[in-house]
Amino acid sequence: MRVTQSMLSGNLLRNLSNSYAKLGKIQEQVNTGKKVTRPSDDPVTAMKGINYRTELNNVEQFSRNIGEAYNWLDTTDDTFDKVGSALQRASELMVQASSDTTTPDDREKIDAELNQLREHIRSLANTKIGDSYIFSGTKTNTAPFNVTTNKYEAPKDENKPTDSKDPLNKPIEIEVFDGINIQINTTPIQLFRDIDDMFDKISKDIKNEVSGSELSSHITAIDNIMGKILTTRADIGARQNRVELMDARLQSQEVIATSRMSENEDIDYEKAITEMITQESIHRAALSVGGRIIQPTLVDFLR
C-alpha cells in the first residue's frame, strides 16, 4: 500500500483535531467543575443529575414550608401566652372584687381594668401573619373580631359553633414532606367568644352590684377558660415538636441529596488536572512528531 504525503497530512490534522477536542473537554470540566455540561456528554449521568436536582429542590421547598409552619405555630403559641397572662390578671382582679371589703368605687375601677383586658384579648384574636388572620380558619382575610359591629364573626350554624365544615373552624395544612401534612393554624374563635361573653357577664354583675359570693363564681369560670387555653397550647406544642422532628429529617435529607448530586456531577479536580497535563503533553508530542514527518518544501531550503 502506497502512503502519500496527503494521507500523512490528513491523519495528522485529524489526530490533532481529536487531541484539541479532548483537551477542550477536560479544560471545560476544570472550568465548570462538572463532569457533563450537556446531556450528550453522558446521558446516564445527566439523567441521574436531573433526578437528584429534583429531589434537592423538593427538600428545599419543604424546608421553606417548615419555616412557614414555625412562623404560624410560634406566633399562635405566643398569642395564647399573652391571652393566658391577661386572664391571670382578670382572675386576680376578681379575687379582689369578690371580697366584701371592696367598695363600689373599687369595683368600678376593677371593672374598668377588666374592660381593658377584654379589649386586649380582642386585639389578640385579630393577630395576623402578613395579611392573614391566623384565628379565622380558612377565611384568612376576615378578622375574627369585627371592630365595626363590635362582635366576633358568627358561625354558619349557631347550634354548631365548632363545626369543622365552617370556614372559621377549618384547619390549614401545609406539606412538610412527601405525603405528610401538618396543621399550622388553630381555630379558637369559639373560645374567644366564650371569653368575651364571660367578661360581659362579669361587667354586668359588677354594675348590678351583686354580692361578693356571686362575683366569686366568675373566678371558677376564668379557671375553666384558662384550662382550655392550656389544652390548646399543649396541642400547639405537640405540633411544634413534630415540626422540629421533620426539620431535622429534612436537614439530613438535604445533606444526603447534595452529596449524591455532587458525587454524580462534580469532577475530581486532582484527577482532572492530571488528565489535562497528560493530554497537553500528548498534544505537544503530536505537534512535534507531525512537524518531523511532513516533507520539507522548497521554502525550507530558501531560508
Q: Work out the pLDDT band at 214, boundaries 50, 70, 90.
A: confident
Q: Could you tell me if residue 138 is inside a domain?
A: yes
Q: Is residue 12 part of a domain?
A: no
85 belongs to a structural domain: yes
Residue 203: CATH number of its domain: 1.20.1330.10
Tens of pLDDT, residue by residue over 103-138, are: 889 999 999 999 999 999 999 999 999 999 999 999
The structural domain count of the chain equals: 1
pTM here? Answer: 0.77
Q: List pLDDT tens digits, range 173-212.
A: 999 988 899 999 999 999 999 999 999 999 999 988 888 8
**What domain range is 191 assigned to?**
49-261
255 burial via Cβ count (<10 Å: 0-12, 13-18, 19+): exposed
DSSP 8-state assignment for residue 60: H
Residue 233's φ and ψ, nearest 5 degrees, are: -65, -35
Decide if 73 is inside a domain: yes
Task: Identify whether 213 is part of a domain.
Answer: yes
Query: Looking at 66-164, which runs of residues are DSSP E strands?
Result: 128-129, 132-133, 145-146, 151-152
Whole-number Å distance between alpha carbons of 221 and 285: 96
Q: Please indicate, yes or no, if residue 80 is contained in any of the structural domains.
A: yes
Kindly state the cell numbers that stand for 73. Answer: 405555630
Task: Identify whether 295 is part of a domain.
Answer: no
> For residue 289, what pLDDT band results from cuts at 50, 70 and 90?
low
Is residue 226 situated within a structural domain? yes
User: pLDDT (tens digit, 9 = 90+) per residue, 163-176?
Assistant: 888 999 999 999 99
